Structure 1
């Protein structure tokens, strides 16, 4: 009896409303991205006379007991109507007006698109289709939607705690909560079974699966293939980390502390898949699924923390702007970081200009090491400065090079704070400096300025120019 009382108490409110609302926006954005990405080639990819003919698609749908609105007529005009209607329905779904009806119509159009040509999809459509079925019974417009805005105007609360007497309201809560629970279980089962299948594979057992995945040209980039394949430690670590994250995922979600760790691991894994393998929509769908695993109070805490950070940054910038100081002191003495870049590199100059705009608190001072007085004044080694960007902390005098300089600059600019942990991981694992050197060696160098003597100084260092 105690168990039933707990279930009844749990069912008095709808849970994970913010996560469901954010997932609605994420799924809608992903589908809109697919529509717009393929818009110019829509007739070739999805049309009745395209690469996957309507007859073949109908046969495939018949064997799979599926359906598609695109199968109802072979007219190009009909295809254009359905395709553009799908775009409008997706926009309707994103804004969240009449959420229950919009969810049903969106599911029909999304399923129809996936069933029309499954050959060009990357797998993210499978889990999205499953979750969209469950989400038909969920409240996905409680937040960030037209429905929620209209409720606020009418004075209706977003969340209603239902007393035991209102049976129909409890059933509405039950449908929502079970739908969210089904989505969460589906994601957990997906990762757990995927991890078990990997464990049974010989290549995953000996830690070389990632290496062989990178050899498939359709799912990798030559740059990342060469970079990752050059590090045996990175390959083995990525292979085993993938297995551990997927198998441990359902169990680590139980504890609120380990949940954040495993969710971060899953997000990192799919970011790697998106960047290295180019499976963008698949990765975006998988990352979007994580939105369901945070409670509403956790989203509120994140929102409050973000507001406090933004307010602190605004106050800090305001204090800096109100301070009137001597330009020399402001530029040299009080500067926290000196950045020595290649003034003959057009990309470098543009990057420094952009960083200078972002540096509202004047923490960075930029110098081109190509200027003779800079080398003399700061006692820089020309070859080191030419190979990698150098930064120096004025207070401690500590020098940084390459990716370390990028990391230091990112720490000082709020707009780049999101990349600080990524850069730190790249430095620790060692591949960050390799990526930096790879790009730096291939930068374009165009000498600028004039020579006071007959021989230009840049000719002496010509051997260093890639």
Structure 2
């Protein structure tokens, strides 16, 4: 009983003493904003055909299915649609810049939810986890780093604010862990995954094969196919366990990032891959980010000094 009480006290101290994962949550905010901005801009010329009053998923059918659950369904006026769509771009820009996040994060969530509700047939799966994480992060402090609004960091945070932020981030991390776990369980039930051949069949699908050169390199190599299949399965099943271990976390996250980069390169699922990489980056602590920054700064300084010496040497002796 005493051990349980001590664990509880330690957890309570951890969650209420100071805010954690501020850098990771700020990076995630930027990635989420860029993900949404990509959706807005890549389809800007076709916005009327996708989300407008006369879209291929008609206003009437969408309203019948979802009712007033989207701002785009409050009116079938073209002018109203343009206002909602353009204002969504403006709001999301403020979100990326980290301006007045307590208010902007709520408004941006409403606008993005409305966009997804208006036409759910054009997404690649990344939107499902994104909208959940956006909801959780409404309660987090997303404007502490990489923001044009610098007031918040100078203010002393109340205990309630600290606890709410930490729980918001923790719930987001648990959600990501569960996503990996159930994705792994789902794969483990399929014979193609347990036999090590799933990757071969996935890469045969034309819709998910944007680069035949890269794809053929993998398809023609049975060792890469088996390694890719089993490593994906192992990664997803073990992620919820190993990501909390300080020794295995960083190698696991590197593996996960490489896994999702391969999804982007081989399958063309850009938005899904990007948001999953951003969610992986959330698990890195502020201390680890600072250590990484110092490490990269030292490498940069060494290269800078080396090239400066070479340049100065050439100036002194032009014949070299």
Q: How many angstroms does 1:318 deviate by?
A: 1.2
- C-alpha distance in 2 between matches for 1:282 and 1:60: 26
From 8, 17, 28, give the equivalent of 2:33. Answer: 28
- C-alpha distance in 1 between matches for 2:238 and 2:9: 31
From 95, 102, 105, give the equivalent of 2:107. Answer: 105
- Structure 2 counterpart SS, 1:243: helix
Query: 2:77 maps to which residue?
Result: 75
Please list, as runs of the form range in 1=range in 2, the aligned pairs for 1:197-236 lying within 5 A after superposition: 197-221=186-210, 222-236=212-226
Does the alignment pair 1:265 with 2:252?
no
Q: How many angstroms does 1:292 deviate by?
A: 1.1
- C-alpha distance in 2 between matches for 1:326 and 1:137: 61
- C-alpha distance in 2 between matches for 1:150 and 1:203: 53
Please list, as runs of the form range in 1=range in 2, the aligned pairs for 1:305-320 lying within 5 A after superposition: 305-320=295-310
Q: How many angstroms does 1:205 deviate by?
A: 1.2
- Structure 1 counterpart SS, 2:55: coil
- Structure 1 counterpart SS, 2:130: helix
Could you list the per-position Cα deviations for residues 404-449 of structure 1 after superposition, in whole angstroms to 9, with x for gaps in the alignment? xxxxxxxxxxxxxxxxxxxxxxxxxxxxxxxxxxxxxxxxxxxxxx
Please list, as runs of the form range in 1=range in 2, the aligned pairs for 1:255-334 lying within 5 A after superposition: 255-324=245-314, 330=320
From 45, 49, 55, give the equivalent of 1:44. Answer: 49
Q: How many angstroms does 1:3 deviate by?
A: 3.4
- Structure 2 counterpart SS, 1:256: coil
- C-alpha distance in 1 between matches for 2:97 and 2:244: 32
Query: 2:162 maps to which residue?
Result: 173
For structure 2, the 5+ residue unaligned runs are none
- C-alpha distance in 2 between matches for 1:291 and 1:60: 36
- C-alpha distance in 1 between matches for 2:276 and 2:8: 34
Does the alignment pair 1:17 with 2:19?
no
- Structure 1 counterpart SS, 2:247: helix
Query: 1:2 maps to which residue?
Result: 6
Q: How many angstroms does 1:75 deviate by?
A: 1.2
Q: In 1, are the aligned partners of 2:53 and 2:78 still within 8 Å (CA)? A: yes
Q: In 1, are the aligned partners of 2:181 and 2:236 still within 8 Å (CA)? A: yes
- C-alpha distance in 2 between matches for 1:7 and 1:269: 32
- TM-score of the aligned structures, taking structure 1 as reference length: 0.65
Could you list the per-position Cα deviations for residues 252-303 of structure 1 after superposition, in whole angstroms to 9, with x for gaps in the alignment? 1122221011111111111111111111001001001012101111111111
Which structure has the higher relative contact order (CA within 8 Å, separation 6+)? Answer: 2
Q: How many angstroms does 1:146 deviate by?
A: 2.4
Query: 1:57 maps to which residue?
Result: 62
- TM-score of the aligned structures, taking structure 2 as reference length: 0.93
Query: 1:411 maps to which residue?
Result: none
From 120, 132, 135, give the equivalent of 2:134. Answer: 132
Q: How many angstroms does 1:313 deviate by?
A: 1.7
Q: CA RMSD in A?
A: 1.7
- Structure 1 counterpart SS, 2:224: helix
Query: 1:150 maps to which residue?
Result: 151
4+ residue segments displaced more than 6 Å: none
Describe the shift of the 1:146–1:171 C-alpha distance in structure 2 as closer, same or farther (beyond 3 A). Answer: same
- C-alpha distance in 2 between matches for 1:61 and 1:308: 54
Could you list the per-position Cα deviations for residues 45-93 of structure 1 after superposition, in whole angstroms to 9, with x for gaps in the alignment? 221212221122223325xxx8211111111111111110010000011
- C-alpha distance in 2 between matches for 1:303 and 1:113: 37
Q: In 1, are the aligned partners of 2:143 and 2:152 still within 8 Å (CA)? A: no
Q: How many angstroms does 1:327 deviate by?
A: 5.8
